[in-house]
């Protein structure tokens, strides 16, 4: 009887050990920070740079991870660099400009299936030996990643700096600029769905500065950014799951470059000269802290929502505890940068 009990216990122990061995490992959070001439990777457990990849020679204006987190795309204005996030290797470069065809990428998004890039572009054409530049109307280019070809292009409104995919609707994109338009990808048909500069009758014209999209793969999928009327600040909530757009009036006015929503969707964290925690539902300010290191562009949050990363702009990222908004430390970088994205692996 004693031997039988011991045998059962041993079997249970072995099963537990096997279950532990084969359960999926807990994902670790990393920050991907494209700075001038190098991609830097930060381990969010230790808040240190663990790798610097000097794989390109360029200034990076913006970046975006693919929905599955396997690829990281860097917008170098005239070309796009593609990194494998597991190996940290530069695996491809898409050069869109030539001497006679200058393409400048203002904003871009990766399709949800990872097969296409949607690029908001300004295109200037020149002809050999003809002293004249032809500035085309702004274009949305649909770039097929496997074939490395532009497969569609559509005329779009001026100043579209934000391009957003919809997670459950591969046939439309949201284009954010002077206003928000929904574009149908089959024929380029545009529908105005929200007015910043051209609000509905009776509304105040508003201004925005939408360059940063601090998304992470697996996040709630809601783009949040501040916008301003002459008298108030609002948060734009663009739900990429449903396409719904909602505005929340903030209780105070801060000058803010970019925002990120907490994983539980309760808080908005935003930064420029200050880092500020807001109630996402009411727009009330919970706490603001002036940034010791100065103006910062981007914000990123860990997958458990406990740590906030503010920066870069200069050569650093500042780490905050999201509960208390106290500064935990500063991560030095090799060069200036504009973007940061958290990718869990």
Partner 1 sequence: MKGEGMKGINKRAKELEEELQEEVFGMSENVSTSMPIGCTTIFDTGWETNPRPDSPVGNCISSARDFTSCSGPCWWPAQTPDNITNFPDFQNQCRAVERDWRNLNFVIKR
Q: Which residues bind partner 1 (CB under 8 A)?
A: 35-37, 57-59, 61, 77-78, 102, 104, 106, 122, 125, 130-132, 134-137, 157-159, 161, 177-178, 197, 207-209, 211, 230, 253-255, 272-273, 291, 293-297, 312-315, 334-338
Q: Which two tokens stand for residue 267?
A: 């808080």
- Strand 130-135 and strand 116-127: the pairing is antiparallel
CB-wise, 65 or 312, nearer to partner 1?
Answer: 312
Least distance CB 336 / partner 1 (angstroms): 4
Counting DSSP H helices and E strands in the chain, the numbers are 1, 29
Least distance to partner 1, CB of residue 164, Å: 17
Task: List the Cα angle 43/49/53 in 5-degree steps.
Answer: 110
Type and span of the H or E element at 62: strand 62-65
Q: By C-beta, is 67 or 211 nearer to partner 1?
A: 211
Task: Quote the least distance from Cβ 160 to partner 1, whole Å.
Answer: 10
Q: Which of 201, 217, 187 lies closest to 32, judged by CA? A: 217
Provide the minimum distance between the beta carbon of 248 and partner 1 in the complex, in angstroms, as a whole number: 18
Residue 278: Cβ within 10 Å count = 29
Residue 325: both structure tokens together: 């908004």
Closest to partner 1 by CB, 300 vs 303, is 300
List Cβ neighbours of 187 (8 Å cut-off, separation of 6 or more).
none
Closer of 145 and 331 to partner 1 (Cβ): 331
Q: How far is the CB of 335 from partner 1 (least distance, A)?
A: 4
Residues making up the chain, counted from first to last: 345
Q: Given the complex with partner 1, which of 272 and 280 has the nearer CB atom?
A: 272
Q: How far apart are the first and last CA of the chain?
A: 47
Nearest residue (CB) to partner 1, 166 versus 180: 180
Structure tokens that stand for 260 in this block: 């990120």
Shortest Å distance, C-beta 255 to partner 1: 4
């Amino acid at each position: 009887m004693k031997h039988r009990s011991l045998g059962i216990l041993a079997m249970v122990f072995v099963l537990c050990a096997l279950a532990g061995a084969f359960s999926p490992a807990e994902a670790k959070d990393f920050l991907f920070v494209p700075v001038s001439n190098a991609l830097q990777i930060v381990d969010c457990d230790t808040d240190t740079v663990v790798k610097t990849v000097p794989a390109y020679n360029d200034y990076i204006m913006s970046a975006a991870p693919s929905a599955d987190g396997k690829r990281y795309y860097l917008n170098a204005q005239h070309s796009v660099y593609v990194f494998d996030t597991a190996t940290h290797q530069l695996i491809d470069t898409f050069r869109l400009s030539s001497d006679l065809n200058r393409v400048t990428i203002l904003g871009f998004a990766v399709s949800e299936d990872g097969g296409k890039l949607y690029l908001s572009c300004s295109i200037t054409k020149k002809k050999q030996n003809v002293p004249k530049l032809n500035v085309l109307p702004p274009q949305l280019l649909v770039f097929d990643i496997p074939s490395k070809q532009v497969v569609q292009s559509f005329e779009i409104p001026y100043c579209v700096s934000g391009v957003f995919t919809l997670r459950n609707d591969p046939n439309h994109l949201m284009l954010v600029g002077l206003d928000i338009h929904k574009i149908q990808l089959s024929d380029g048909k545009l529908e105005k769905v929200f007015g910043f500069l051209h609000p509905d009758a009776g509304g105040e014209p508003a201004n925005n500065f939408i360059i940063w999209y601090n998304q992470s793969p697996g996040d709630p999928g809601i783009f949040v950014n501040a916008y301003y009327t002459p008298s108030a600040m609002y948060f734009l909530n663009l739900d990429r799951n449903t396409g719904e757009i909602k505005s929340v009036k903030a209780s105070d006015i801060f000058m803010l470059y970019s925002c990120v929503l907490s994983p539980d969707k309760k808080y908005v964290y935003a930064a420029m000269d200050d880092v500020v925690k807001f109630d996402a539902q009411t727009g009330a300010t919970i706490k603001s802290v002036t940034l010791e290191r100065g103006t910062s562009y981007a914000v990123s949050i860990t997958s458990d929502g406990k740590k906030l990363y503010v920066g870069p702009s200069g050569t650093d990222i500042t780490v905050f505890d999201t509960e208390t908004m106290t500064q935990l430390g500063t991560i030095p970088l090799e060069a200036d940068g504009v973007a940061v994205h958290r990718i869990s692996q």
